[in-house]
Amino acid sequence: IARDCMRRRAEIRAYKYDLRVKPKEFPVNSFVWYFYPRKRAGLKEKWLKFYTGPYKVEQRVGPVLYQIRKSPRAKAQLVYVDKLKPYVGDLPESWGGMAPTAGGGETTAMDIPGDAAEDVSEVDSEEAAIEWYAEPLEPRPK
């Protein structure tokens, strides 16, 4: 009797869990964050970073199992899909992309969209560049 009751309760719990769960899928070659919680002495949980990465999805091994890698030379890891969340941003430097600069850095023609990139080469000083950026843009024709 006890086994039957436990089996039925387990089936009910599994059914109710499946109702709440939303399926997740990540395409191969996309980037994800990996949930890796760890505690450090002297630090509160509020200030810790629980997600590491970004990692690249290399292979979908099963419906809930993925193979990810942090850099081309790093060892691959098998992780469950519920420990992953999508990475939104530029391609990481470890994979050959350019990470966004936080202030500073020189402005190149690649940083400026459209036809305005041609005018950057004429700017000689930083003050001239600031004036150039301060100029109002012309409204787009409708």
pLDDT, greater one: 24 or 124: 24
Mean pLDDT of the chain: 75
Give the pLDDT score at 137.
52
pLDDT tens digits for 76-87?
999 999 889 999
pLDDT tens digits for 1-44?
889 999 999 999 988 888 877 788 899 999 999 998 887 788 78
Report d(CA 98, CA 90) in Å as an integer.
7
CATH of region 23-89, choose from 2.30.30.140, 3.40.1190.10, 2.40.430.10, 3.40.50.300? 2.30.30.140
Domain ranges of the chain: 23-89, 107-132
Buried-state track 94-110, b at ≥16 Cβ within 10 A, e below 16:
beeeeeeeeeeeeeeee
The model's pTM is: 0.55
Which residues make beta-bridge pairs with 79?
66
Residue 48's pLDDT band (boundaries 50, 70, 90)? confident
Residue 56's pLDDT band (boundaries 50, 70, 90)? very high
pLDDT above 90: residue 75: yes
H or E element at residue 133:
helix 126-134
